[in-house]
Structure 1
């Protein structure tokens, strides 16, 4: 709370100045400018509003997101046009995009030479899935790799000791990137180990999202890490309401020496290992991979770090210490680690999930803490269930955000009518993000089934094809389902007012 109060003292005055400027411009404009100038300004913004609405209607993008902006601009032409210029238009993130592009060009990209051969192998096994994964690689610009070892953790506390053990073995570098970092048993233990390794000459770098950790981490904490020899920066610092405010770094990555990588849903705070209880039992998942897939996670971190830090990662640190990955001892399928970017024209994970729902023939099951679906993905769930696919969605019974939970439940009726099975985890909060389809393809990562993850945030995900880890994911889903309540149509609340509120929330869902 102290950290949040400190940030409020810094941020609120800056935002208040912005708000005061808007108020002065929009309300008092008539008193300080010539009438002809005022009329000209009104005309300009009216024309802009019409242009924006026309563009929104015509553009190929998520319809729910477009509809919200059309309503805002139509109802409040001047204010809506200004707001859309600041927050709604992708071109407003060009500065952020250019930073990442410059950083990417200066790095050695993950080896894609063998990717085409591996895609061909996948196509021989399953043409439909192979086509989808080939498009995924092209869209995200990451290669498919042979899966070496991949370990599944059904709870955050299961991953914790392995993380500690691997960190203690670090010889060259440790890269840590998480949405939320908070002092406690989890983070403090990792910090102590990283400080020990830094003292031995290991290059240790930590990056966190400034808005995600606004109440849990601060400049003071960064200074504390630097005293221990650990470099640390916040991603996209939050000071003013800007075009890039919505674009948060929701990724979770830990890379050690380019040999081992961790990812999944867990953040570095004590509720994620059930050391403290916030919303009942915290159900989350993580995974550990080795082999060539780790190169992709190393690249992801280096690209972001070099884009936002003055202290760049030396090229020789990565090249001289890049491990030589030997072929896996046994066949263990394929893996495609990638990240989502709101700067791309295509919404990579949204398209992947929609495509996998279309390709599934027997079953497709999803873990997600939030369910705020765009029209294309919503329809894909319904169509898959209607053609006889066993479609299941698991969400929390105890929410961390009540309005978002209410909105999540607003989708249940249509899904249940189509034949989708919906389960709520009664012991607590599901924070896992994963899917498995037909026992042969699935993903684990940071992507929620909501607007922010699918359209606005930077996310990271790993798609597995015919890998052993999928068996563990399925077993875990079945075991977790046994602790859930299955929703039925008779559980849905009826009534005009209730439905009206749900519909209103659905309209504003892209902002939540």
Structure 2
């Protein structure tokens, strides 16, 4: 709480000065130009035209248009703060520049492409499109391990860190001092002494209450490099376009990812909202290169201390299936995770099982899930039983009730908070990463995700989901009943769903 107050007190004077300046300016203009209201109306109309012409989701545009029409000045100011993507585009240019300067020649082998094409041509087309658009190749999997809880992932991460010889790259949305982080930092200090390059990247808004400049200075004292992503400095920041990615990469030999952040509740040594259900995975082999590349791109785009990455990779024919790891950017015209979701969900014939902590959907995804249920595909969605954000949970339950009426099975994880993010598709395809089923993940944040095809991790995820459903409460039709007032309140909240 002290860190949040400190950051707010730093930013608040600049925000207040800007608001006062706007009010004084408007008052002055109104005295000199009596037609100022007409001018503001024209400006609001131009803003609306700009938003309407943007290539983005229709509900997102509708929310901003409505807000600006009703409150021209406030709406425009909020749009610049929360909705405009110019700062994202600038950052994306830096990322593209960093990508070009990384001398990496890694692409999907013709043999691998042909193998997938023979097994499933439609999936081949989807993966090939994602691979080309993101410049992230598909690889054979050497080895992978699934973690049904952060509790079991934690010791393996520490073991892998102790074996580091060249570098340790860590990138997380939330990092917080405690048993989890401090255990890692203790190893970092020893590894720096051994000459290992240790770099930590975290999101400044995600960790606004848990990490600060003081913590960075402490790490720097020991030779550990640490920088925040898109820092909240005065008013030059955006509430969206955050780095929601989570990855730990060691020596380009092993990578860890999933929904687990570096804080003690994720390993259940601290209780916040009951039992914390989260998942993750580790991979070895050529597929790790995608995560090393992802980290290097972001780091080199915001740091002068560049990572040099010049390794060429062979597409070794391992035998634990295929993996495509990629990242999503809010500046992409086609949002990769949403594209993958719609294309693979629509072609499903047996099942779609979903882990998500938040269920705030756009119309296309709602229609997709309902269409699957109408043709008797087994659609199941697992959500938290105990919320971490009450307003967001209310929206989640609003969408859950809507889907339940269409025949989709909804399970509430009654032991606590479910933070896992995964999609299980038919009998051989799954996706695990940082992507929630909400607007922020699908449209507004930087994310990372891995698609697994014909891998043992599919069966581990399926078994875990079955066990989770046994511990959860399945929602019934009677759970959908509520008063007209509550329904109206839910409808009102849906107008602002893209911001929540």
**Structures share a fold, TM > 0.5?**
yes
Report the counterpart of residue 148 of structure 1 in structure 2.
142
Quote the offset at 1:55 in angstroms: 4.4
Q: Answer whether contact 2:108 2:138 (CA < 8 A) is retained.
A: no
Q: Whole-Å Cα distance in 1 between the matches of residues 415 and 200 of structure 2? A: 33
Q: TM-score, normalised to structure 1's length?
A: 0.94
1:409 and 2:397 matched:
yes
Moved more, 152-161 or 241-250: 241-250
- The partner residue of 2:316 within 302, 327, 333 is 327
Q: Answer whether contact 1:260 1:289 (CA < 8 A) is retained.
A: yes
Provide Cα deviations, 1:344-385, integer angstroms capped at 9, x if missing partner: 111111121122210111001010000010111111111111
Report the counterpart of residue 96 of structure 1 in structure 2.
91
Report the counterpart of residue 165 of structure 2 in structure 1.
171
CA separation of 1:189/1:110 partners in 2, compared to 1, >3 Å: closer, same or farther? farther
Moved more, 492-501 or 89-98: 89-98
- The partner residue of 1:475 within 423, 448, 463 is 463
Moved more, 376-385 or 4-13: 4-13
Report the counterpart of residue 274 of structure 1 in structure 2.
268
- The partner residue of 2:345 within 332, 349, 357 is 357
- The partner residue of 2:67 within 72, 86, 100 is 72
Moved more, 122-131 or 200-209: 122-131
Secondary structure at the aligned position of 1:338 is classed as: strand
Quote the offset at 1:310 in angstroms: 2.1
Q: Whole-Å Cα distance in 2 between the matches of residues 433 and 142 of structure 1? A: 21
Q: Whole-Å Cα distance in 1 between the matches of residues 190 and 324 of structure 2? A: 33
Q: Whole-Å Cα distance in 2 between the matches of residues 117 and 20 of structure 1? A: 64
Q: Answer whether contact 1:336 1:464 (CA < 8 A) is retained.
A: yes
Aligned residues: 500
Q: Whole-Å Cα distance in 2 between the matches of residues 480 and 252 of structure 1? A: 23
Report the counterpart of residue 284 of structure 1 in structure 2.
278
Secondary structure at the aligned position of 1:418 is classed as: coil
Moved more, 424-433 or 243-252: 243-252
Report the counterpart of residue 210 of structure 2 in structure 1.
216
Report the counterpart of residue 257 of structure 1 in structure 2.
251
Q: Whole-Å Cα distance in 2 between the matches of residues 92 and 80 of structure 1? A: 18
1:111-510 correspondence to structure 2 within 5 Å? 111-114=106-109, 116-242=110-236, 244-313=238-307, 315=308, 318-319=309-310, 322=311, 327-329=316-318, 331-510=319-498
Quote the offset at 1:14 in angstroms: 2.3
1:2 and 2:21 matched:
no
Q: Whole-Å Cα distance in 2 between the matches of residues 268 and 112 of structure 1? A: 32
Q: Whole-Å Cα distance in 2 between the matches of residues 90 and 326 of structure 1? A: 37
Q: Whole-Å Cα distance in 2 between the matches of residues 15 and 417 of structure 1? A: 45
Quote the offset at 1:246 in angstroms: 1.2
CA separation of 1:27/1:507 partners in 2, compared to 1, >3 Å: closer, same or farther? farther
CA RMSD, Structure 1 to Structure 2 (Å): 1.8
Q: Whole-Å Cα distance in 1 between the matches of residues 495 and 146 of structure 2? A: 37
CA separation of 1:26/1:485 partners in 2, compared to 1, >3 Å: closer, same or farther? farther
Secondary structure at the aligned position of 1:444 is classed as: strand
Moved more, 41-50 or 231-240: 41-50
Quote the offset at 1:326 in angstroms: 7.3
Q: Whole-Å Cα distance in 1 between the matches of residues 284 and 404 of structure 2? A: 40
Q: Whole-Å Cα distance in 2 between the matches of residues 154 and 416 of structure 1? A: 26
CA separation of 1:243/1:43 partners in 2, compared to 1, >3 Å: closer, same or farther? farther
Q: Answer whether contact 2:11 2:235 (CA < 8 A) is retained.
A: no
Q: Whole-Å Cα distance in 1 between the matches of residues 26 and 396 of structure 2? A: 36
Q: Whole-Å Cα distance in 2 between the matches of residues 237 and 58 of structure 1? A: 29
Secondary structure at the aligned position of 2:145 is classed as: strand
Secondary structure at the aligned position of 1:176 is classed as: strand
Q: TM-score, normalised to structure 2's length?
A: 0.96
Q: Whole-Å Cα distance in 2 between the matches of residues 26 and 456 of structure 1? A: 32
Q: Whole-Å Cα distance in 2 between the matches of residues 86 and 491 of structure 1? A: 38
Unmatched 5+ stretches in structure 2: none
Q: Answer whether contact 1:152 1:473 (CA < 8 A) is retained.
A: yes
CA separation of 1:24/1:489 partners in 2, compared to 1, >3 Å: closer, same or farther? farther
Q: Answer whether contact 2:10 2:234 (CA < 8 A) is retained.
A: no
Q: Whole-Å Cα distance in 1 between the matches of residues 27 and 476 of structure 2? A: 51
Unmatched 5+ stretches in structure 1: none
Quote the offset at 1:24 in angstroms: 2.6
Q: Whole-Å Cα distance in 2 between the matches of residues 355 and 169 of structure 1? A: 40
Q: Answer whether contact 2:230 2:237 (CA < 8 A) is retained.
A: no
Secondary structure at the aligned position of 2:155 is classed as: helix
Secondary structure at the aligned position of 2:48 is classed as: helix
